[in-house]
Amino acid sequence: MKTRSEELQVFVAVIDCGSISAAAEQIGQTPSAVSRTLSRLEGKLGTTLVNRTTRRMDLTEEGRFFLERARLILEQMDDLEERLSLHRQTPSGRLRINAAAPFMLHAILPWIGEFRLQYPGIELELNTDDLIIDLLEQSTDVAIRIGELADSSLHARSLGCSPVQVLASPDYLARHGTPQSVEALSEHCLLGFSALDSLNQWPLRHAQGDRWAIRPQLTASSGETLRQLALAGEGIVSLSHFMTHEDIRAGRLQVLLPEHNNGYRQPIHAVYYRNTQLALRIQCFLDFIQKKLAMYAC
């Protein structure tokens, strides 16, 4: 008997979800139906794909081999369906996007209305997470990552870059004065990141180099929290232009020491796990958002 695509989908869902019950909930079937499908698939193949106990599930060697091919087959089927959709010029389907909260808030949400008008067949699911996530575990199609990428098995596409600037509110500067040199920053309240110390290396040239390592008096894990603190006049901050350009334009934040800025631009990448041609709905979104990000390059 030949293996059917539905059986491949059930098998992959069980592995990705980690259990039969979780897979059943995801694909809208009963656990008993999923279990029967998995057993039927193993019967057709004449081998055990998954060793199942009451506490865990482990892929056999044959299961690992089959999983890799099953994913490829399902991706090729998705690609075929979406290529047909391309001919009709109607990209469709659910698109799960993950990004850090500041990027989602300032660089994606303002354009969602326009994107939905342009691609009404795409169902968006927008999730935020300031930590690097497992795309498969979170059922994410594409994640937007800011900064330098670590070596990874994921595929990445550059969406552009955003300058990083040193900023403060007019209220803070009125109360504490405007620093006239990089060294003078040491006399001010500096706002920094608590999670990634590399983000506390500000892009400022000085006598000892072109990065200024700060000792923040107030820290936060999120760039949006630091932005709000700066807007409230709590101190001086260094943030990417994509999340502060409106504040600068409106005069809520002022750029400090521009003549000392080393010109560093924070890379912005889309990462995804597919090893075939990008799904059409993903391609449409990335093309769309890349054009919008160009305005943050300043």
239-288 pLDDT, tens digit per residue, is 999 999 999 999 999 999 999 999 999 999 998 875 545 678 888 999 99
Query: How high is the pLDDT of residue 92?
Result: 82
For the ranges 21-35, 103-117, 263-277, which has the lowest average pLDDT?
263-277
Q: Which residue has the higher pLDDT, 149 or 48?
A: 48
Mean local confidence (pLDDT), 107-116? 96
Q: Locate all alpha helices (DSSP H) within 89-231, ordered by sequence.
A: 101-103, 112-118, 170-176, 223-231
Q: Given pLDDT bands bounded at 50, 70 and 90, which one contains residue 133?
A: very low
In order of 104, 202, 293, the CA distances from 192 in angstroms are 20, 10, 25
Q: Given pLDDT bands bounded at 50, 70 and 90, which one contains residue 152?
A: low
Residue 127 · residue 86 · CB < 8 Å: no
In order of 10, 58, 106, 159, 199, the CA distances from 102 in angstroms are 36, 38, 6, 16, 15
Q: How many C-alpha atoms does 195 have within 13 Å on its Cβ side?
A: 9
Q: Which residue has the higher pLDDT, 169 or 196?
A: 169
Percent of the chain surpassing pLDDT 70 = 89
- The pTM assigned to this predicted structure is 0.67
Euclidean distance between CA atoms 39 and 33, whole angstroms: 10
Query: How high is the pLDDT of residue 155?
Result: 81
Residue 111 · residue 292 · CB < 8 Å: yes
The pairing of beta strand 254-256 with beta strand 50-52 = unpaired
42-91 pLDDT, tens digit per residue, is 999 899 999 887 677 889 999 899 999 999 898 888 877 777 666 556 78
Mean pLDDT computed over every residue of the chain: 88
